[in-house]
Amino acid sequence: AAPALQGAGSVKQQISNLVALSLRATVPEVDVEPIVEVCTGKFGDYQCNNAMGLWSKVKGSGTSFKNPNAIGQAIAKNLPACDVIESASVAGPGFVNIVLSKSWVAKRIQDMLVNGITTWAPILPVKRVVLDFSSPNIAKEMHVGHLRSTIIGDTLARMFEFSNVEVLRRNHVGDWGTQFGMLIEFLFEKFPNWEELGSQAIGDLQVFYKASKQRFDEDAEFKDRAQQAVVRLQGGEEKYRAAWKKICEISRNEFDQVYKLLDVQLEEKGESFYNPYIPQVLEKLSSQGLIEESEGARVIFIQGHQIPLIVVKRDGGFNYASTDLAALWYRLNVEKAEWIIYVTDVGQQQHFDMFFKAARMAGWLPDPKEKKFPKTSHVGFGLVLGADGKRFRTRSTEVVRLGDLLDEAKSRSKSELLQRLTENGKIVDWTDEELEQTSKAVGYGAVNHVFYLQCRYADLKNNRLTNYTFSFDQMLSDKGNTAVYLQYAHARICSIIRKSNMDVEELKVSGNISLAHPDERVLGLYLIRYAEIVEEACTNLLPSVLCEYLYNLSEMFTRFYTNCQVVGSPEEPSRLLLCEATAVVMRQCFQLLGITPVYKL
Ligand code: ARG
C-alpha cells in the first residue's frame, strides 16, 4: 500500500521509511538501517548510501548482484510507488539519488500553512530530558558564562519541547557549601534585624559576599564562628536555616529578574535539594567497591585520569562531585529521565567527564559506544571575551550586569533604528511603543543570537570550545549572519505580504502552491527540511544549526524574490503562499532561539 500522503516526522525520516521498505525487498537476508542524506550533487534531493556497505556484506555469499551499482539499481527499483518520490537514479558506485515530487513538496507546505508548524515536529528517540542550565551560585556573581548557559539551555529546551519531548528545566543553583557559614555570620553581624529584611535590603549581594570574605580572611575569630555556622546549618539548626533561606531568597530575586527579561522558564532544584540523597548514593557506590580511601579523603579512581574524583573531603564534607552524583541518581531513578544534559562553560569538562565515567562504572549508564539511553551530555562552551582579550565586562564594573548588557543592546539598536527612520523620512509612521518594542526585540535578539554562533560549522566538540570576543558593533550589524539581518529579512517578507491585495488566510485554504520556477523549487525543498534541521540541532545539541538554517533560508528567499516577481504577477497567489510559509518557518526558528520576531523594520 502507498504510504500516507503526509506522514509524521521529518522528510528525511519519511524517505528513510521508504528506503527501509526497499532494502527489505532488495536484500531480505540482511538487516540494515537505511542511510539517507540530503543530496550533495545536483541529480537528486536526497540520496540513499546503502548499496556500497551492503555489497561488502553480500559479496561472496552467492548473491546474484554483480557489484554495488547493481544493488543501487535494485534499491531504486524497489522503492514503493508513492506520491513522495518523483524518480530515483543511480550514480557512481551505487549512490541512489532520489528526486522528490514537486506536488508532494507543495502539498506538505500547504498542509503546514493550514494545520500549523507543529505538524512539522521531528520524532526524537527520547521522551523525557533533564536540562541542567543557567545554575548560578548564590551570593556570587552571575557572570556572562551563566548568561550563555541560560540562553543556550533555554533554546535547547525549546527545541526539544517543539519535538514533543518532555523537558525538566533544572536550575542547579549553587546554594550549599562552606561559603554559607561566613555569609550567615556576616548577616548576623551587619543586620541584627535580618529576619525583617526585605529581599532588596542587603543591596548588592556580591558586594556583601566580598565583604564577608574579607572579614573571613582577616579575622580568625570570625573565621572560627563561620566554620561553626556551617556545622550548625548542616545540622539543621533553625536560626541558621532561616538565615540561609533569607540569603537564597535575595539571590533568587536577582536571578529571576534576568529570567524574566529573557523570558526563560526554569525550575530551581539547587544543590541543597540533593544533599539528603548523598549518603545513600555514596553507600551504594561504596558497596560496589568503587569508593576508596586516599589521603584522608574518600575518592573514586577513574581510568584515564591522573587524579581521582573526590566524593568526601578530608573534613568529612560533601562537595560538588558528590552532589552531582546524587543529582544524577535522582534524575535517572526518580525523575526517570533518558537524557541528562548539562550546559556550563568548558572549564568544567573534566568534572563532567569524570563523574559520567563514575556513573558508568556503577552501571547507571550504558557504554556510550552502544549509543543507547539513558545518556548524559555536557554542552561546554568557551569564554566570552571583551575587546581587551580579557573576560568580558560591561562598563567599568567588575562583573557583567546582565540587565546592563541587555539594556545597552536595546538602546544601541534603538538609536540605529531612529537614525535610519529619520533619514528615510519614515519616522512619522512609527509610534513610540512600536519603536520601543522593536528595539527591544532586535537588541535582545542580537544578544541571544550571538551566544549560539560561535559553535556553528558543526564539529561539535571543538567548536563550542573557542572563546568568543564580544562586540556590540558586530553583534548589531545588519550584515552577515546576525540577528539584525535576519530580523530585516523577515520584516521584508511581511511587507511583501502586506503590499499584496490578496488575502493570505483565504489563499491558504483555497489557493495552490506551484513550484514551477527552479528558485521556487529550491526554496520549497529547503522549507520542508525544517524538521530535520531541528532534529539535527537536538541530536547534536547545537542551536547554531538552527541559526545557520535561518540564514540560508533568508538567502534562498532573496534569490527567489529576485528572480520571481510576486505582487502583480500571474503567479501571485502561489508565490504569496511561499512568502507566507517562509515567514512562518522563520518565526518558528526565532521562537526556538528565544528571539522575538518583528514584522516591520
Ligand atoms: N553552579 C555551577 C557554576 O556556576 C554550575 C552547575 C552546573 N550543573 C551541575 N549539575 N553541575 O559553575
Give the other-Cβ count within 10 Å of 365's Cβ: 21
Gyration radius of the chain over CA positions: 28
Q: Categorize the per-residue pLDDT at 3 as very low, low, confident or very high, splitting at 50, 70 and 90.
A: very low
Alpha helices for 464-543 (secondary structure H): 472-475, 483-499, 504-510, 518-527, 530-539
CATH topology of domain 128-174+269-385: Rossmann fold (3.40.50)
In angstroms, what is the span from residue 37 Cα to ligand 1's centroid? 37
Condensed to tens digits (0 to 9), the pLDDT of residues 511-547 reads 999 999 999 999 999 999 999 999 999 999 988 889 9
Strand pairing partners for 85? Answer: 100
The response to whether residue 174 sits with its C-beta less than 6 Å from ligand 1 reads yes
- Chain-centroid distance, C-alpha 161: 11
Quick one: which H or E segment has residue 161? helix 144-162
Query: What is residue 380's predicted lDDT score, i.e. its pLDDT?
Result: 86
DSSP tag of 179: H
Q: Categorize the per-residue pLDDT at 293 as very low, low, confident or very high, splitting at 50, 70 and 90.
A: very high
Integer Cα distance of 488 and 483 in angstroms: 9
Query: What is residue 460's predicted lDDT score, i.e. its pLDDT?
Result: 38
Query: What is residue 91's predicted lDDT score, i.e. its pLDDT?
Result: 94
The response to whether residue 572 sits with its C-beta less than 6 Å from ligand 1 reads no
What backbone torsions phi and psi does residue 136 show, to the nearest 5 degrees? -75, 175
Which has the closest alpha carbon to 250: 188, 198, 180?
A: 198
Domain coordinates in residue numbering, the chain:
11-100, 128-174+269-385, 179-262, 404-592
Take atom 3 of ligand 1 and give the residue whose Cα is closest: 136
The response to whether residue 172 sits with its C-beta less than 6 Å from ligand 1 reads yes
Integer Cα distance of 435 and 428 in angstroms: 11
Integer Cα distance of 48 and 97 in angstroms: 7
In angstroms, what is the span from residue 74 Cα to ligand 1's centroid? 53
What backbone torsions phi and psi does residue 265 show, to the nearest 5 degrees? -95, 135
- Answer whether CATH 3.30.1360.70 is correct for domain 11-100: yes
Is the model's pLDDT at 402 over the cut of 50? yes
Q: Which has more confidence, 491 or 473? A: 491
Q: Among 135, 152, 354, which residue has the most ligand 1 atoms within 8 Å of its CB, making it the best to mutate?
A: 135
Query: What is residue 465's predicted lDDT score, i.e. its pLDDT?
Result: 52
Condensed to tens digits (0 to 9), the pLDDT of residues 501-520 reads 999 999 999 999 999 999 99
Q: Give the mean model confidence (pLDDT) for residues 377-386.
A: 83
Q: Give the mean model confidence (pLDDT) for residues 319-346.
A: 96
Query: What is residue 459's predicted lDDT score, i.e. its pLDDT?
Result: 37
Length of the chain in terms of residues written: 601
- Chain-centroid distance, C-alpha 237: 41
Condensed to tens digits (0 to 9), the pLDDT of residues 251-278 reads 898 889 889 988 999 999 999 999 999 9
The response to whether residue 376 sits with its C-beta less than 6 Å from ligand 1 reads no
In angstroms, what is the span from residue 379 Cα to ligand 1's centroid? 12
Parallel, antiparallel or unpaired: strands 339-345 and 128-132: parallel
Q: Give the mean model confidence (pLDDT) for residues 81-106.
A: 96
Could you identify the residue written with the cell 550586569?
A: 401
What backbone torsions phi and psi does residue 256 show, to the nearest 5 degrees? -60, -30
DSSP tag of 568: T
* CA 415 to each of CA 409, 438, 488, 489: distance values in angstroms, whole numbers, following the listed order: 10, 12, 16, 20
Quick one: which H or E segment has residue 547? helix 544-563
Integer Cα distance of 530 and 587 in angstroms: 12
Condensed to tens digits (0 to 9), the pLDDT of residues 8-66 reads 899 999 999 999 999 999 999 999 999 999 997 789 999 999 999 999 999 988 899 99
Strand pairing partners for 128? Answer: 166
Could you identify the residue written with the cell 559520567?
A: 356
* CA 346 to each of CA 132, 409, 467: distance values in angstroms, whole numbers, following the listed order: 15, 26, 10
Query: What is residue 207's predicted lDDT score, i.e. its pLDDT?
Result: 83
Query: What is residue 150's predicted lDDT score, i.e. its pLDDT?
Result: 92
Q: Among 172, 252, 323, which residue has the most ligand 1 atoms within 8 Å of its CB, making it the best to mutate?
A: 172
Q: Categorize the per-residue pLDDT at 394 as very low, low, confident or very high, splitting at 50, 70 and 90.
A: low
In sequence order, what are the residues at sequence separation of 6 or more whose Cβ sits closer than 8 angstroms to the Cβ of residue 260?
Answer: none
Q: Give the mean model confidence (pLDDT) for residues 201-227.
A: 89
**Strand boundaries in 125-270, DSSP class E:** 128-132, 166-171, 267-268
In angstroms, what is the span from residue 283 Cα to ligand 1's centroid? 24
DSSP tag of 308: P
Give the other-Cβ count within 10 Å of 569's Cβ: 12
Q: What is the mean pLDDT of the chain?
A: 91
User: Interhelix angle for 483-499 vs 432-453, to 10°?
Assistant: 130
Which value does ipTM take for this structure?
0.99
Could you identify the residue written with the cell 564594573?
A: 397
In angstroms, what is the span from residue 350 Cα to ligand 1's centroid? 13
DSSP tag of 175: -
CATH superfamily of 404-592: Isoleucyl-tRNA Synthetase; Domain 1 (1.10.730.10)
Query: What is residue 579's predicted lDDT score, i.e. its pLDDT?
Result: 98
Q: Among 346, 348, 383, which residue has the most ligand 1 atoms within 8 Å of its CB, making it the best to mutate?
A: 348
In sequence order, what are the residues at sequence separation of 6 or more whose Cβ sits closer than 8 angstroms to the Cβ of residue 462?
Answer: none
Q: Which amino acid is present at 397?
A: T
Integer Cα distance of 488 and 500 in angstroms: 19
Give the cell for residue 477. Answer: 550589524
